[in-house]
Amino acid sequence: MANVTNKRPLSPHLQIYKPIPTMVMSIVHRITGGALAVGTIILAWWLIAAASGKPYFDWISWLLGTWIGLIVLFGYTWALVHHMLGGMRHFMWDMGHGFDKHFTTKMAIALPVVSICLTVVIWIVGLAI
């Protein structure tokens, strides 16, 4: 039997594509979606601890108050904000706006900057209260 696939072109791989901002933000949007699943488990753990009693809640609050816990919570906040802004971008596209190549590239470049700034503002307000 002859191998008919020898003359057919191969599908491109990630190694062939040049990363562009919109492609990177699409990948980051998927990663933040996965991070939100893990962060929601931590949030549910904290709520279960609150319902379980003071000693367990105090232990979870201590754990999340360590520097590692604060980094995880900061990352969860950033993932939430970043994913929300990406979802708003997709909603805008669903409405038929913002398909110009230069505009989508500018939005993809601005998205991480805006999400980090909003996360820092949320944490400043949260720590101030």
Binding-site residue positions for heme: 83
DSSP secondary structure string for all residues of 14-39: TTTSPP-HHHHHHHHHHHHHHHHHHH
Residue type, 97: H
What residues are designated binding site? 83
Beta-strand runs (E) in the chain: none
Q: Give the separation between CA 88 and CA 83, rounded to whole angstroms.
A: 9
Two structure tokens written together for 112: 């991480």
